[in-house]
Amino acid sequence: MLPLLKHLPKVLLIFLIGTSMTSCKLREKLVYLQDNSADSLATIGQNMTYVPVLRTDDLLLIQVGGQDQEALAAFQFYSSSANQMNNAQNTQVTASITYLIDQNGNINFPVLGFVKLAGLTRLEATVKLQELISAYVEAPVVNIQLKNFRVTVLGQVKNPGSFVLNSERATILDALGLAGDLDLSAIRKNILVIREISGKRIEYRLDLTKKDVYESPAFFLAQNDVIYVEPNGGARFQGQNLQNYTQVLTPLISIFLSLYTIISIN
């Protein structure tokens, strides 16, 4: 037994070195945005001017306001509701109406009829409606909200599903955050984003471990994007099982070291 104990420190050193190397490799596979070079840092922000455009099947909440309420009435939807506080007298309240952009890229708006909004940004659509309504109403105010900015996240994430985003400048990191982040068993270097443009499906591949992901056309998401995260069995083993094994082996190593010290002294 003594010859074995004689070589025990070398064995332990080899084990610790191997564990350290494994941890370095594990970091390379799991950590996001690892490239810290000056060139990569200089590119951050160059793609931040992205603004999504409206397209077919978008649902828009459009509200029209202004000082001339009588003239504005033709551009607003109203509903009758019972007001119990005022002896059940009927009052007129503005209803929240959403407009669907049809297959031709149009919405059917009161008085104006069909108005083409597909291909415009939300701000451009707002300006266009204000200009058209100005022919009938003085100084109208138009507010447009996109109500169905939805993305779907599938695969190796903690909470896969479909999510409605509140911001029109949502990124892939926002979507993965809503999905609970990637599992340890996920491949971070080959995230698939599926996007439909003009009836055609386009696929993008993103490497989340590199900072050039900021420059990808799919870094900022579009309506109805689908994100798929591939599984990696090796990552699951290295991440979860290695941690479990380390927790078991650490006290055993301490016991062996204690025994070796006692035997060496005696």
The verdict on 166 and 126 lying in the same domain is no
Residue 31 or residue 185, greater confidence: 185
What per-residue confidence (pLDDT) applies to 26? 45
- CATH number for the domain that contains residue 108: 3.30.1950.10
Is the domain of 47 the same as that of 157?
A: yes
Query: Of 188 and 94, which is predicted with more confidence?
Result: 188
**Residue 214 maps to which CATH number?**
3.10.560.10
Residue scoring higher pLDDT (10 or 147): 147
Q: Domain boundary at 103, 129, 146, which?
A: 146
Are 138 and 66 in a shared domain? Answer: yes
Task: Please check whether residues 97 and 126 belong to one and the same domain.
Answer: yes
Query: Do both 79 and 140 map to the same domain?
Result: yes
Residue 182 phi, psi (nearest 5): -75, 145
Question: Which residues lie below 8 Å from residue 31, measured CB to CB, with a gap of 6+?
Answer: 209
Number of domains in the chain: 3
Residue 174 banded pLDDT, cuts 50, 70, 90: very high
Same domain, 245 and 115: no
- Across 53-149, the runs of DSSP E, i.e. the strands, are 59-65, 78-83, 89-94, 98-100, 106-109, 113-116, 141-146
With 90 as the cut, is the pLDDT of residue 127 above it? Answer: yes
**201/140 Cα distance (integer angstroms):** 39
Among 128, 146, 164, the domain-final residue is 146
User: What domain range includes position 82?
Assistant: 59-146
**Percent residues over pLDDT 70 in the chain:** 61
pLDDT one-digit tens code per residue, 207-261: 999 988 999 999 999 989 999 999 986 544 554 555 565 666 666 666 666 665 6
pLDDT at residue number 166: 81
Is the pLDDT at 156 greater than 50, yes or no? Answer: yes
| Residue where one domain finishes, among candidates 146, 164, 199 | 146
Phi, psi of 2 (to 5 degrees): -60, -40
Same domain, yes or no: 255 and 142: no
Band (51; pLDDT cuts 50, 70, 90): confident
Q: In this predicted model, what pLDDT tens digit does every residue of 61-97 receive, in sequence order?
A: 999 988 888 888 888 775 444 444 444 444 444 456 8
Output the CA–CA distances (angstroms, integers) from residue 32 to 7, 22, 210, in the order listed: 40, 18, 7
* 181 lies in the same domain as 209: yes
Asked if 28 and 208 touch (Cβ cutoff 8 Å), the reply is no
Stated as kind and residue range, the H or E segment containing 97 is none
Q: How far is Cα 103 from Cα 149, in angstroms, rounded to an integer?
A: 18
Using DSSP, state whether 234 is helix, strand or coil.
Answer: helix
Query: Could you read off the pLDDT of 248-257 as tens digits, one per residue?
Result: 666 666 666 6
Whether residues 199 and 239 share a domain: the answer is no
Same domain, 67 and 43: no
Distance between CA atoms of residues 172 and 221, nearest Å:
6
Model pTM score? 0.64
User: Is the confidence at residue 6, as pLDDT, over 90?
Assistant: no
pLDDT category at 110 given cuts 50, 70, 90 is very high
Residues 19, 37 within the same domain:
no
Instruction: Please give the mean pLDDT across all residues of the chain.
Output: 77
Q: Which two tokens stand for residue 241?
A: 């099982």
Residues 109 and 239 in one domain: no
Q: Residue 33's pLDDT band (boundaries 50, 70, 90)? A: low
